[in-house]
Structure 1
């Protein structure tokens, strides 16, 4: 499972990021790992012919993001115009047959290629609002390493102006669009999460430090009332609880400058990062936890990424002048 958060600096600069929570390792580390996904920082040049397991397309815009080596899929990324996005699991997501999509006059796209397609074709969230109804996800599995994968997915898109939407393929493969409240997790569908926020409107970023008198008894706040404003904030790692926690943390940050933005974003994610061992299946060694965290400075088209089995954060800035597809190993990117 995963979490996404958007925050905005005093000057309007937008910072957005996500955690990748899964049971498969994405980067090599000191941990014993029999299998590691060949994850890399991928930079796609403008005009590049994107290979596809369905139908190739030409990239209108250059894009940089986290993906798998030699494949057309990105897990998250940002393009030259500051449009960023990611894919996350949504159990309620749907797909449909190629025949059905063609009969409805829609363009078929593979779920694991949809993010790459949108980031290489659109400049802004507004453009996505105008075109998202043209697409539907086809029920064709994705082939990788002699295996087939079919993940149910939804997608977040955020641009440098602060506009943000969530696209969920819940209409027989076609999409329903939701205006984002600045955070996203997994299921249920996004409108359920937005409604659930209303159960927590009593939350506040101010502490109640006044004594309470009942039946001639005076009750003094414990620890001077520190943290009382968020008393009752869900603390578990379910999708629904992470959504509430991410929303209130992101909206309670002290004002910050552009230079402080990435540190503030990283701090906000500390509340939803899943430690290894908290979530595991019935088999020994099966853990669903945060494999990596990535934050994007949308104004500068710069990504900051951390393999969560290590402490170092690396950064890389999109070079929109490149002419060749480029793969950058995590350890080749500049350490912060």
Structure 2
């Protein structure tokens, strides 16, 4: 991919992805929050999809003149961001699908198929907000929400307080050719976590004490499902005594017998909760970043593991990249499918002023090094 950033929708190449979407499995993203012994929060997530999203590492500067996508791909509501953002995009767009801002607010967009329901952007629909109403509430396309949140707020509490000023509307993403079904996870430097889910045209908001999120069903369903796993423990089970005979577990890890290992969202949610709650807290954020990487490895999907049909041999859902954010240190890390070296974007060392978005490709490499951006 080119180093220069493509900052207009008009320069995007039209991709015939509607058919591809009908063949590709739903994305299988997993996210979580860890805390070190000194209280430093670290956020991690994987990004899976059934075809390449062509993600680049990007930095959006402070005071950037951002603009949401409006109906028919026209420019929509605009705002000037308060905070710089480091993160990852898709299809060369000047928005993040995952990122960290300079105040330590981090979050991601995760796929939410079959459940997501946005406010209507069509004023002819009798049962929804009309276009004028959505405009007054500052309408955002589903892929614009995270960039708006990270660019304007320093904490999850600030985001929550501002949610009634915006509407996320049902716009078709030009490259995908569909209205993408999304929900959102946010975490801040205090360790607070929030889940935001558009359902039935309204935003359902949940405090997230577990820090974990995957995909559909809705977040409250996943919390209820945890009640099926209340006996799981990182501590090995004691031997079973029957008629004077002792039956000891076969090897270590018997307390976790029953942890689901398949790639479905409910199973990944349970597994992520088990791993994050049982992992030994590390002393510092730097050590917790490495712990997060080990946990992320449990959710890595290689090409070919998840297929939509026996006949489909060219499109697989796979882990295109994984990210980790040190919310206290303001450092964002990424490793990609073709480059498993963890590379960093340090917001405390970058020039955060500027008028344009800077981008850097996720090139295959075996070298661990900071992500390098072109100079202004």
Do Structure 1 and Structure 2 share a fold, with TM-score over 0.5?
yes
Residue 193 of structure 1 contacts residue 243 of structure 1 at CA under 8 Å; is this kept in 2?
yes
Larger CA deviation: 210-219 vs 248-257: 210-219
Which of the residues 101, 107, 110 maps onto 2:141?
110
Distance 1:47 1:334, change over 3 A: farther
Specify which structure has the higher proportion of strand. 1
The aligned counterpart of 1:335 is 369
Distance 1:52 1:72, change over 3 A: farther
The aligned counterpart of 1:31 is none
C-alpha separation in 2, matches of 1:242 and 1:131: 31
Find out whether 1:41 has 2:57 as its counterpart: yes
C-alpha separation in 2, matches of 1:47 and 1:220: 62
Query: Residue 190 of structure 1: CA displacement?
Result: 0.4
The aligned counterpart of 2:185 is 156
The aligned counterpart of 1:298 is 327
C-alpha separation in 2, matches of 1:288 and 1:277: 8
Which of the residues 80, 96, 116 maps onto 1:93?
116
| Runs of 5+ consecutive residues of structure 2 not aligned to the other structure | 1-27, 71-75, 124-128, 371-376
Find out whether 1:245 has 2:271 as its counterpart: yes
Query: Residue 134 of structure 1: CA displacement?
Result: 2.7
CA RMSD of aligned residues (A): 2.0
Q: What SS is found at the alignment partner of 1:155?
A: strand
Distance 1:211 1:297, change over 3 A: same
Q: What SS is found at the alignment partner of 1:312?
A: strand
The aligned counterpart of 2:87 is 65
C-alpha separation in 2, matches of 1:8 and 1:187: 25
Q: Residue by residue, what CA displacement relative to the aligned partner does 1:231-267 show, whole Å, maximum 9, x if unpaired?
A: 1101111000000000110111112121311110011
Residue 43 of structure 1 contacts residue 326 of structure 1 at CA under 8 Å; is this kept in 2?
yes
The aligned counterpart of 1:186 is 215
Find out whether 1:126 has 2:147 as its counterpart: no
The aligned counterpart of 1:271 is 298
The aligned counterpart of 2:25 is none
TM-score w.r.t. structure 1 length? Answer: 0.89
Distance 1:320 1:17, change over 3 A: farther
Residue 280 of structure 1 contacts residue 287 of structure 1 at CA under 8 Å; is this kept in 2?
yes
TM-score w.r.t. structure 2 length? Answer: 0.80
Residue 75 of structure 1 contacts residue 86 of structure 1 at CA under 8 Å; is this kept in 2?
yes
Query: Residue 69 of structure 1: CA displacement?
Result: 6.4
Find out whether 1:220 has 2:248 as its counterpart: yes
C-alpha separation in 1, matches of 2:264 and 2:59: 33
Q: Residue by residue, what CA displacement relative to the aligned partner does 1:13-62 show, whole Å, maximum 9, x if unpaired?
A: 11001100101224xxxxxxxxxx2x211111111111332222211111
Q: What SS is found at the alignment partner of 2:353?
A: coil
C-alpha separation in 2, matches of 1:219 and 1:148: 57
Which of the residues 35, 42, 58 maps onto 1:8?
35
C-alpha separation in 2, matches of 1:220 and 1:44: 56
Q: Residue by residue, what CA displacement relative to the aligned partner does 1:190-239 show, whole Å, maximum 9, x if unpaired?
A: 0000111111111111112x33221232223322xx10111110111100
Residue 189 of structure 2 contacts residue 328 of structure 2 at CA under 8 Å; is this kept in 1?
yes
C-alpha separation in 2, matches of 1:220 and 1:204: 16
Residue 101 of structure 2 contacts residue 150 of structure 2 at CA under 8 Å; is this kept in 1?
yes
Give runs of aligned pairs for residues 198-209 of structure 1, distance below 5 A.
198-208=227-237
C-alpha separation in 2, matches of 1:63 and 1:133: 23
Larger CA deviation: 103-112 vs 12-21: 103-112
C-alpha separation in 2, matches of 1:2 and 1:227: 26
Q: What SS is found at the alignment partner of 1:293?
A: strand
Q: What SS is found at the alignment partner of 1:250?
A: helix
The aligned counterpart of 2:66 is 50
Which of the residues 19, 24, 30 maps onto 2:46?
19
